[in-house]
Amino acid sequence: MAEPWTTAAHRLFKKHNIRTVGYVPDAGLTELIKSCHADNDIKSVVMTTEEEGIGLSSGAWLGGEKAAVLMQSSGVGNTVNAIASIVSSCQFPLFMIVTMRGQYGESNPWQMPMGQAVAPVLKSLGMHVFEVETDDEAAEAIEAGLKMAFVSNAAVAILIGQKLIGAKSFIADVAEEVINVDN
Protein backbone atom coordinates (compact mmCIF):
# COMPACT_ATOMS: atom_id res chain seq x y z
CA MET A 1 0.00 0.00 0.00
CA ALA A 2 1.27 3.46 -0.86
CA GLU A 3 2.40 5.81 1.88
CA PRO A 4 -0.61 8.04 2.68
CA TRP A 5 -0.11 11.47 1.11
CA THR A 6 -0.38 13.19 4.49
CA THR A 7 2.49 11.08 5.87
CA ALA A 8 4.54 11.82 2.76
CA ALA A 9 3.80 15.53 3.05
CA HIS A 10 5.07 15.66 6.63
CA ARG A 11 8.15 13.59 5.73
CA LEU A 12 8.92 15.94 2.82
CA PHE A 13 8.36 19.04 4.96
CA LYS A 14 11.10 17.67 7.23
CA LYS A 15 13.38 16.81 4.32
CA HIS A 16 13.03 20.28 2.85
CA ASN A 17 13.33 22.02 6.21
CA ILE A 18 9.86 23.56 6.35
CA ARG A 19 9.80 25.32 9.71
CA THR A 20 6.42 27.07 9.70
CA VAL A 21 3.09 25.63 8.57
CA GLY A 22 0.12 28.01 8.40
CA TYR A 23 -3.31 26.52 7.97
CA VAL A 24 -7.02 27.00 7.98
CA PRO A 25 -8.36 23.51 8.68
CA ASP A 26 -10.13 21.17 6.31
CA ALA A 27 -11.30 17.63 6.98
CA GLY A 28 -8.90 16.41 4.31
CA LEU A 29 -5.97 18.09 6.08
CA THR A 30 -6.70 16.60 9.51
CA GLU A 31 -3.86 14.07 9.61
CA LEU A 32 -1.26 16.46 8.19
CA ILE A 33 -2.23 19.20 10.66
CA LYS A 34 -1.96 16.69 13.53
CA SER A 35 1.49 15.55 12.48
CA CYS A 36 2.70 19.16 12.13
CA HIS A 37 1.42 20.03 15.61
CA ALA A 38 3.11 16.93 17.04
CA ASP A 39 6.44 18.02 15.52
CA ASN A 40 8.44 20.38 17.74
CA ASP A 41 10.58 21.54 14.82
CA ILE A 42 7.55 22.92 13.00
CA LYS A 43 5.68 26.02 14.13
CA SER A 44 2.04 25.26 13.35
CA VAL A 45 -0.01 28.41 12.94
CA VAL A 46 -3.79 28.33 12.83
CA MET A 47 -4.96 31.35 10.84
CA THR A 48 -8.23 33.25 10.74
CA THR A 49 -8.18 33.49 6.95
CA GLU A 50 -6.07 31.91 4.24
CA GLU A 51 -4.77 35.33 3.17
CA GLU A 52 -2.70 35.38 6.34
CA GLY A 53 -0.82 32.39 5.01
CA ILE A 54 0.62 34.46 2.20
CA GLY A 55 1.93 37.11 4.60
CA LEU A 56 3.14 34.44 7.01
CA SER A 57 5.02 32.51 4.33
CA SER A 58 6.57 35.66 2.84
CA GLY A 59 7.57 36.91 6.29
CA ALA A 60 9.17 33.57 7.14
CA TRP A 61 11.21 33.80 3.96
CA LEU A 62 12.35 37.32 4.87
CA GLY A 63 13.56 35.81 8.14
CA GLY A 64 15.38 32.98 6.36
CA GLU A 65 12.94 30.13 6.86
CA LYS A 66 10.65 28.08 4.67
CA ALA A 67 6.91 27.88 5.27
CA ALA A 68 4.05 25.90 3.81
CA VAL A 69 0.40 26.94 3.70
CA LEU A 70 -2.52 24.50 3.95
CA MET A 71 -6.13 25.27 3.08
CA GLN A 72 -9.37 24.00 1.64
CA SER A 73 -10.22 24.95 -1.94
CA SER A 74 -12.74 27.61 -0.87
CA GLY A 75 -9.92 29.40 0.96
CA VAL A 76 -8.04 29.96 -2.28
CA GLY A 77 -10.47 32.77 -3.00
CA ASN A 78 -9.18 34.61 0.07
CA THR A 79 -5.57 34.57 -1.10
CA VAL A 80 -5.77 36.11 -4.55
CA ASN A 81 -4.66 39.71 -4.02
CA ALA A 82 -1.93 38.73 -1.58
CA ILE A 83 -0.48 36.25 -4.07
CA ALA A 84 -0.58 38.74 -6.94
CA SER A 85 0.58 41.79 -5.01
CA ILE A 86 3.16 40.29 -2.68
CA VAL A 87 4.30 36.91 -3.99
CA SER A 88 4.38 37.82 -7.67
CA SER A 89 5.72 41.35 -7.24
CA CYS A 90 8.59 40.22 -5.01
CA GLN A 91 9.05 36.69 -6.40
CA PHE A 92 8.56 35.20 -2.98
CA PRO A 93 8.52 31.42 -2.85
CA LEU A 94 5.06 30.04 -2.06
CA PHE A 95 4.11 26.44 -1.37
CA MET A 96 0.44 25.66 -0.82
CA ILE A 97 -1.41 22.39 -0.34
CA VAL A 98 -5.09 22.76 -1.21
CA THR A 99 -7.55 19.99 -0.37
CA MET A 100 -10.33 20.12 -2.89
CA ARG A 101 -14.06 20.40 -2.48
CA GLY A 102 -16.58 21.04 -5.20
CA GLN A 103 -15.43 18.34 -7.54
CA TYR A 104 -15.51 14.49 -7.64
CA GLY A 105 -18.53 13.30 -5.65
CA GLU A 106 -19.31 16.63 -3.94
CA SER A 107 -22.61 16.70 -2.03
CA ASN A 108 -22.73 20.40 -1.06
CA PRO A 109 -23.70 22.56 -4.04
CA TRP A 110 -22.24 25.67 -2.38
CA GLN A 111 -18.78 24.13 -2.73
CA MET A 112 -19.06 23.61 -6.47
CA PRO A 113 -18.40 27.12 -7.88
CA MET A 114 -15.22 27.87 -5.93
CA GLY A 115 -13.97 24.31 -6.29
CA GLN A 116 -14.24 24.62 -10.05
CA ALA A 117 -12.56 28.04 -10.02
CA VAL A 118 -9.46 27.06 -8.03
CA ALA A 119 -7.16 25.80 -10.78
CA PRO A 120 -7.95 28.51 -13.38
CA VAL A 121 -7.72 31.26 -10.75
CA LEU A 122 -4.33 30.11 -9.47
CA LYS A 123 -3.06 29.61 -13.01
CA SER A 124 -4.20 33.11 -13.93
CA LEU A 125 -1.94 34.36 -11.12
CA GLY A 126 0.99 32.59 -12.73
CA MET A 127 1.14 29.80 -10.17
CA HIS A 128 2.32 26.30 -10.90
CA VAL A 129 -0.66 24.07 -10.23
CA PHE A 130 -0.36 20.31 -9.79
CA GLU A 131 -3.61 18.37 -9.57
CA VAL A 132 -3.16 14.94 -8.00
CA GLU A 133 -5.51 12.04 -7.42
CA THR A 134 -3.39 9.28 -5.84
CA ASP A 135 -1.05 9.09 -2.86
CA ASP A 136 1.95 8.46 -5.11
CA GLU A 137 1.12 11.37 -7.41
CA ALA A 138 0.70 13.61 -4.38
CA ALA A 139 4.06 12.67 -2.86
CA GLU A 140 5.82 13.19 -6.18
CA ALA A 141 4.18 16.57 -6.76
CA ILE A 142 4.88 17.76 -3.20
CA GLU A 143 8.57 16.89 -3.58
CA ALA A 144 8.78 18.60 -6.98
CA GLY A 145 6.81 21.60 -5.76
CA LEU A 146 8.93 22.16 -2.67
CA LYS A 147 12.06 22.28 -4.83
CA MET A 148 10.46 24.62 -7.35
CA ALA A 149 9.12 26.96 -4.67
CA PHE A 150 12.23 27.42 -2.58
CA VAL A 151 15.04 26.91 -5.07
CA SER A 152 13.41 28.53 -8.08
CA ASN A 153 11.35 31.19 -6.27
CA ALA A 154 8.17 29.75 -7.71
CA ALA A 155 4.60 29.87 -6.44
CA VAL A 156 3.26 26.32 -6.33
CA ALA A 157 -0.10 24.85 -5.39
CA ILE A 158 -0.71 21.12 -4.97
CA LEU A 159 -4.41 20.42 -5.40
CA ILE A 160 -5.34 17.21 -3.59
CA GLY A 161 -8.33 15.86 -5.50
CA GLN A 162 -11.54 14.74 -3.88
CA LYS A 163 -11.03 11.35 -5.48
CA LEU A 164 -8.04 10.92 -3.14
CA ILE A 165 -9.33 12.46 0.07
CA GLY A 166 -12.84 11.12 -0.41
CA ALA A 167 -15.99 13.12 -0.92
CA LYS A 168 -17.32 14.04 2.47
CA SER A 169 -20.79 12.77 3.26
CA PHE A 170 -21.00 15.56 5.78
CA ILE A 171 -24.45 14.87 7.14
CA ALA A 172 -23.63 11.33 8.21
CA ASP A 173 -20.26 12.50 9.59
CA VAL A 174 -21.50 15.14 11.99
CA ALA A 175 -25.07 14.32 12.91
CA GLU A 176 -26.74 11.62 14.92
CA GLU A 177 -30.08 12.48 13.43
CA VAL A 178 -31.13 14.41 10.32
CA ILE A 179 -34.30 16.46 10.17
CA ASN A 180 -35.22 18.31 6.98
CA VAL A 181 -37.18 21.54 7.50
CA ASP A 182 -37.66 22.91 3.97
CA ASN A 183 -40.27 20.44 2.87
Partner 1 sequence: MSTTKLNRSDVLNKLMEVRGNALAIAGLGSPVWDLAASDHQPENFYNWGGMGCAVSMGLGCALAQPKRNVWVITGDGEALMGVGSFATVANQRPDNLVIIILDNEHYGETGMQKTHTSGGTDLAAMAAGAGIPTTMTVHSDEDLDNLINALKTSPLPLVASIKVENTKPKLVLPSRDGVYIKTRFRQAVLGSTAALHVT
Residues that bind partner 1 (CB under 8 A): 17, 19-20, 22, 43, 45-49, 51-65, 67, 81-82, 85-86, 89-92, 150-151
Q: Is 22 or 145 the residue whose CB approaches partner 1 more closely?
A: 22
Min dist. Cβ of residue 92 to partner 1 (A): 7
Q: Is 55 or 166 the residue whose CB approaches partner 1 more closely?
A: 55
Min dist. Cβ of residue 56 to partner 1 (A): 4
Q: Is 27 or 46 the residue whose CB approaches partner 1 more closely?
A: 46
Q: Is 157 or 160 the residue whose CB approaches partner 1 more closely?
A: 157
Beta bridge partners of 157: 96, 129
- Of the candidates 74, 109, 105, 91, the residue with the CA atom closest to the CA atom of residue 153: 91
Q: Is 20 or 35 the residue whose CB approaches partner 1 more closely?
A: 20
b/e burial code for range 123-146 (CB count within 10 A of at least 16 → b) = eebebbbbbbbebebbbebbbebb
Min dist. Cβ of residue 116 to partner 1 (A): 26
Min dist. Cβ of residue 22 to partner 1 (A): 8
Min dist. Cβ of residue 49 to partner 1 (A): 6
- Of the candidates 12, 10, 47, the residue with the CA atom closest to the CA atom of residue 31: 10
Q: What is the DSSP string of 91-126?
A: T--EEEEEE--SSTT---GGGHHHHHHHHHHHHHTT
DSSP-derived 3-state class of residue 159: strand
- Of the candidates 150, 145, 157, the residue with the CA atom closest to the CA atom of residue 121: 157
